[in-house]
């Protein structure tokens, strides 16, 4: 018998998540994210001023649930039913491979735009000694070390080889989580919030995710623009303007979900 609190959980496989049902030979993607300069481990950029990152969200093993990052990659994963999502990021030494998700579920994001999908993984592995993309090419016969923007499509065979490279190292995902927490506490100490630009004090969790999956109320049906030259956004609920590099799913002022849109009249 399922406990009551369990039934109300928004953690997959519960509602609103749907199985991706990846075919046996589904390929995948290599996705680039911003990592934190203040961290030894290449965790997402938690402390980046005015542009805090929530993805890849290792706390929930999701991507796109809390951010509007990489909409093309997210819709690509859903359309191709890709099982593997690899992650790479720029460090001093160049781009490096840091880990992967095994994607199993998807659902619609806050913005009911066809491309605002959330992805959830059944497993993940992130490594302590990231592998340069030059070495990934050398070991796996791939072509990922030449610069590309945002994401790169991978064949099933390429995915299998890159996964083996990551599996050869111990799983350091717990260390990544501790590092994310340390950086968040740095933000909390110096800016009063774990995520300053969003006025978010909570850690990311399935409890925190409820508002994004249940209380969302965006009525936007048109294509969502997730960046604007002015980095300014306006909330349709509270009328406040918000400064942030990327479009936020939640208004930092009133907490409205999917209520922000580009503020076009800045400077006029």
Binding site for Zn ion (CB under 5 A): 235, 237-238, 251, 253-254, 256
Query: Shortest approach of Zn ion to residue 115 CB, angstroms?
Result: 23
Instruction: Give SS3 for 186.
Output: helix
Query: Shortest approach of Zn ion to residue 251 CB, angstroms?
Result: 3
Closest CB to Zn ion among 101 and 195? 195
Query: Shortest approach of Zn ion to residue 218 CB, angstroms?
Result: 12
Handedness of CA 148, 115, 23, 61 (dihedral sign): positive
In contact, 89 and 95? CB cutoff 8 Å: yes
Closest CB to Zn ion among 254 and 264? 254
Query: Shortest approach of Zn ion to residue 254 CB, angstroms?
Result: 3
Instruction: Give SS3 for 182.
Output: helix
Residues whose CB is less than 8 angstroms from the CB of residue 1 and which lie 6 or more positions away in sequence, other chains included: none
Helix axes 156-167, 133-140, angle to 10 degrees: 110
In angstroms, the CA 110 to CA 195 distance is: 19
Closest CB to Zn ion among 39 and 261? 261
Closest CB to Zn ion among 256 and 258? 256
């Amino acid at each position: 018998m399922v406990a009551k609190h369990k039934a109300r959980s928004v953690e997959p496989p519960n509602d609103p998540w749907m199985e991706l049902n990846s075919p046996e030979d589904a390929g995948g993607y290599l996705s680039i994210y911003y990592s934190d300069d203040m961290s030894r481990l290449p965790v997402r950029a938690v402390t980046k001023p005015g542009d805090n990152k929530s993805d890849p969200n290792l706390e929930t093993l999701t991507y796109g649930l809390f951010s509007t990052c990489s909409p093309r990659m997210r819709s690509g994963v859903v359309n191709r039913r890709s099982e593997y999502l690899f992650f790479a990021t720029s460090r001093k030494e160049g781009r490096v491979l840091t880990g992967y998700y095994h994607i199993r579920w998807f659902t619609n994001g806050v913005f009911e735009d066809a491309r605002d999908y959330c992805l959830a993984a059944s497993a993940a592995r992130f490594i302590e000694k990231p592998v340069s993309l030059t070495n990934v090419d050398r070991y796996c016969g791939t072509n990922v070390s030449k610069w590309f923007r945002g994401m790169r499509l991978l064949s099933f065979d390429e995915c299998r080889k890159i996964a083996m490279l990551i599996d050869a190292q111990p799983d350091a995902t717990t260390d990544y989580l501790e590092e994310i927490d340390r950086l968040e506490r740095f933000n909390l100490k110096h800016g009063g919030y774990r995520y300053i630009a969003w006025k978010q004090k909570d850690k990311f969790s399935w409890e925190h995710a409820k508002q994004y999956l249940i209380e969302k109320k965006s009525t936007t049906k048109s294509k969502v623009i997730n960046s604007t030259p002015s980095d300014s956004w306006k909330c349709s609920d509270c009328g406040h303007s918000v400064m942030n590099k990327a479009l936020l799913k939640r208004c930092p002022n009133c907490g409205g979900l999917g209520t922000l849109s580009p503020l076009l009249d800045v400077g006029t």
